[in-house]
Chain A
Amino acid sequence: MTAVFKREFRAYFTGPIGYIFCAAFFSAISFSFYLDNVSAYRSDFSTIFNIMMLWLILLVPLMTMRLWSEEKRQKTDQLLLTAPVGTMEIVLGKFFSALCVFLCALSLTFIYPIIVSLFGTPEVKSIIGNYVAITFAASAYIAISLFISSLTESQIVSAILSIISLSLFLAMNVIFESTNIEFLAKALGFLSMITRYFNFFQGLFSLSDVFYFISLTVIFLFLTSRVIEKRRWS
């Protein structure tokens, strides 16, 4: 696992993708920091995490789209799949490399709470809780788009499908909310990431919602390893 992790993580920063991801994420967050905090004279960060959830829908697929398709194109999947390692180890290596790139980008934004604390009193506990929660949410994003990238050989298809499915996962509660089908509205609301993230916005650290994101991650990593394993049988 560590071999794959090291290689992928290094590849993010020998190529442009790692830098682009960090820069895009940081500038988007900086802009909303300016709007919500600097010009509005506020020390509340919940909107920023809200905006992170949205931006990650676009940025995470860009980061994960090459993880499997590139292996297929360079025929290096033959090396990985004939090496004496389990498929899950390879999947985990790739997953953690993407997660670490995200953490690099996220750590850049630590500067804003620090700036605010110089001039005001931000709610430290709520901010830490939100940072932890956004990490779990992002890991669910990464697992979902990693799964989608394993389904297709084309990077573009993978990126677009990932963006669509992440959007669905984020806001599927909306689909039936205005109808009378209460059962479906409730079920989808239960599964939607945005309703799951709601507690964190409000400054509550809810363990059950953290478990929700962890379960999503585990399920999609498992599915990814199944898809890769299934290729042997086609």
Chain B
Amino acid sequence: MAIRINGTDVQAPSDPRVSLLDLLREELHLTGTKKGCNQGACGACTVLVDGERVVSCLALAVQYEGREITTVEGLSENGALHPLQEAFVEHDGFQCGYCTPGQICSAIGMAGEAKRGVPSHVTEDLSAETITLTHDELRERMSGNLCRCGAYNGIVAAITETFVEAGE
């Protein structure tokens, strides 16, 4: 069984020690996904697995056979940037850019969670069917992605424009 990465089937590594992150970067040369802390604390390595955000540094690649992985390289369609990528540019959602691929993949996964009603630490009414991505909700849900440049205001603005104001 293969791992499907951005629409292409890839053989799982024969060495089970290889993380999904190292498979992406070192073997497939998909270097958009970044290695920050390599211990799940910074979120720079966030990718989507069957649409769900995960940190690829703590994922053994062999565990993801049969799954569909989307990295930042897989977000554009026909050469056009994903709307969230456009919004990051528009709102200065980065300075150095190192955390950006993780921020973007995380935000896309996060928007899906909010849409299906997954509660967060700041959700007041647990029985609510839908979540409104307020400023506080959004910041709480994105707390697994650090930005040492401190571009958080731009990141929040970009995500808000893409997933809240656009009514997605």
Q: Do A and B bind each other?
A: no
B residues whose Cβ falls under 8 Å from a Cβ of A: none
A residues whose Cβ falls under 8 Å from a Cβ of B: none
